């Protein structure tokens, strides 16, 4: 599968990326890939081990004469976001991805591509096997579960890594290098809500909100794209005058992906159906006008539900009204832009996953901020808001941000090499996303770190794609940086 990748350049990187495309690696299911990489390391004569959580490290001794050169850690995460279009079901636990090239870009048919962070992992493996690059001691650190919880980095053993410089290969644009990132936390809300049977005149209907672009909940949060949960809840709020009651709700699949679709089953008096349909038609036109240029394909549709009133219980009138009101008032999107770093989002929230089944309500949001105090405050607003309807809120998987260091020797070296290799000075950036650098830096404060990578668009959505030319540029700079550190030249 994906043999056409072997025809791309640079061949070693794409060969390893083919292995990643052919090996299922959703978050929490990286075991098969780890076994594959461990066998490869054995074949290459490279040492490998795992820390107490299961993160994988592959090591390569320094080139002759480079034993005293500072060690380099090549770092990426093994897992990928698993999103598929509703008309293109995919078994991410068993089936390979189906990739293709179009107009200089690599895509996957109907699914995420896994370029985030598969290209970084593939580049690290290609560096490890290269025989034409002088290098000091090399460590390739491959972490687990970055996309769902950052748990691999959060659980990384202290005192395990030896290197001085860490190259995080998980950024997504050419001509940019990242030296700081936001911290964040998951906000989880749960509640058991009262239910009762249907009234005689009530019928079941399913409302679907589809057609949104989606994207990365950090890197794309400022692009004014629609959030399926927010938009569907807004519609449910507008339908409140027809005394609808919720049966179930499913919106979003990952707390760090902008939700593209959301679905709700409602019970409503049959006499209200014509007016309800008219309201949804008007709302769809309103949404399309509001989201023109970013998400104008948004669609609201109404169809008979898969269940009948005789077979299901429904939330009470009061429970429906309180839940819809709380969700409608919940913070989402950009909360504040940074003053210190112009153009960068300081604080945001993604209303990522919302479900309601048999009266059990569940929400998982992802709060991010360059300021840890702002992360805590926004999370506390969820606690205060949903406490009003009797829900329980907890904050999980909190991780710190990565404080920028604009005068590091590693950054100075990278900027010089970028100019030499590509003829341009890279833009130095801070990203509103949870790079693992912040967590790793907290455990290894002596590390100097930067993050860079090739062009990736549509990460965390089935439109994910990477520009082939940028991968060659990324590889060229990475090789030069490893060799330059080994040369002992001043930064």
85-132, pLDDT tens digit by residue?
Answer: 988 899 999 999 999 999 999 999 999 999 999 999 999 999 999 999
Cα angle: 483, vertex 140, 32; to 5 degrees: 145
- Residues serving a catalytic function are 79, 146
Residue 435, pLDDT score: 84
Q: How far is CA 46 from the centre of its chain?
A: 31
Instruction: Tell me the average pLDDT across 406-426.
Output: 95
Render pLDDT for 213-272 as a digit per residue (tens, 0 to 9): 999 999 899 999 999 999 999 999 999 999 999 999 999 998 989 999 999 999 999 999
Every domain range in the chain assigned CATH 3.40.630.10: 3-182+401-487
Please give the Cα distance from 4 to 9 (Å, whole number): 11
Condensed to tens digits (0 to 9), the pLDDT of residues 446-459 reads: 999 999 999 999 99
Q: How does pLDDT run across 182-207, given as a tens digit for each residue?
A: 999 999 999 999 999 999 899 999 99
Mean pLDDT, the chain, integer: 95
In the chain, residues under CATH classification 3.30.70.360 are 185-399
Say which CATH class 185-399 falls into: alpha beta
Tokens encoding 247: 């049966």
CB 453 within 8 A of CB 169: yes
Q: What is the pLDDT of residue 433?
A: 84
User: What would the mean pLDDT of 42-67 be, rounded to a whole number?
Assistant: 97
Q: Is 42 helix (H, G, I), strand (E, B) or coil?
A: helix
Task: Give pLDDT, residue 407.
Answer: 85
Q: How far apart are the first and last CA of the chain?
A: 43
At the topology level, CATH places domain 3-182+401-487 in Aminopeptidase (3.40.630)
Token duo for residue 259: 């939700």
Label the pairing between strands 138-143 and 72-77: parallel
> Which tokens is 251 given?
């919106």
pLDDT at position 121: 98
The rounded percent of the chain whose pLDDT value lies above 70 is: 100
Distances, alpha carbon 172 to alpha carbons 166, 327, 362, 403, in Å:
17, 32, 32, 20
């Amino acid at each position: 599968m994906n043999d056409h990748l072997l025809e791309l350049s640079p061949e070693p990187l794409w060969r390893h990326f083919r292995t990643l495309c052919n090996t299922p690696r959703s978050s929490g299911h990286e075991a098969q890939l780890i076994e594959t990489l461990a066998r490869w390391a054995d074949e290459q004569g490279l040492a490998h081990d795992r820390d107490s959580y299961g993160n994988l490290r592959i090591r390569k001794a320094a080139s002759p004469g480079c034993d005293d050169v500072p060690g380099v850690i090549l770092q990426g995460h093994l897992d990928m976001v698993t999103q598929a279009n509703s008309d293109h079901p995919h078994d991410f636990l068993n089936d390979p991805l189906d990739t293709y090239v179009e107009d200089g870009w690599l895509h996957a048919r109907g699914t995420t591509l896994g370029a985030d962070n598969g290209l970084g992992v593939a580049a690290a493996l290609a560096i490890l096997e290269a025989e034409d690059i002088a290098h000091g001691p090399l460590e390739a650190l491959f972490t687990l579960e970055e996309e769902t919880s950052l748990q691999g980095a959060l659980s990384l053993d202290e005192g395990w890594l030896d290197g001085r410089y860490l190259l995080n290969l998980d950024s997504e644009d050419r001509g940019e290098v990242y030296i700081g990132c936001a911290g964040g936390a998951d906000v989880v809300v749960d509640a058991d809500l009262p239910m009762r049977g249907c009234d005689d005149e009530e019928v079941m209907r399913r409302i679907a909100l589809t057609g949104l672009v989606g994207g990365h909940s950090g890197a794309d949060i400022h692009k004014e794209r629609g959030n399926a949960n927010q938009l569907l809840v807004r519609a449910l709020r507008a339908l409140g005058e027809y005394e609808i009651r919720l049966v179930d709700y499913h919106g979003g699949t990952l707390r760090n992906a902008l939700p593209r679709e959301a679905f709700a089953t409602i019970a409503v008096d049959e006499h209200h159906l014509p007016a309800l349909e008219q309201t949804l038609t008007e709302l769809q036109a309103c949404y399309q006008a509001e989201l023109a240029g970013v998400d104008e394909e948004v669609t609201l549709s109404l169809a008979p539900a898969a269940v009948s009133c005789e077979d299901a219980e429904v939330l009470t009138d009061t429970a429906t009204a309180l839940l819809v009101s709380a969700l409608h008032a919940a913070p989402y999107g950009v909360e504040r832009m940074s003053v210190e770093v112009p153009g960068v989002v300081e604080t945001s929230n993604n209303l990522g996953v919302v479900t309601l089944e048999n009266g059990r309500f569940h929400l998982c949001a992802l709060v991010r901020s360059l300021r840890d105090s702002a992360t805590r405050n926004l999370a506390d607003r969820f606690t205060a808001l949903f406490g009003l309807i009797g829900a329980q809120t907890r904050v999980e998987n909190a991780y710190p941000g990565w404080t920028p260091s604009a005068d590091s020797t590693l950054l100075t070296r990278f900027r010089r090499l970028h100019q030499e290799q590509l003829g341009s000075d890279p833009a130095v950036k801070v990203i509103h996303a949870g790079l693992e650098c912040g967590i790793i830096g907290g455990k290894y404060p002596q590390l100097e770190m930067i993050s860079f990578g090739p062009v990736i668009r549509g990460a965390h959505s089935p439109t994910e794609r990477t520009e082939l030319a940028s991968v060659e540029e990324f590889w060229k700079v990475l090789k030069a940086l490893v060799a330059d550190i080994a040369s002992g030249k001043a930064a």
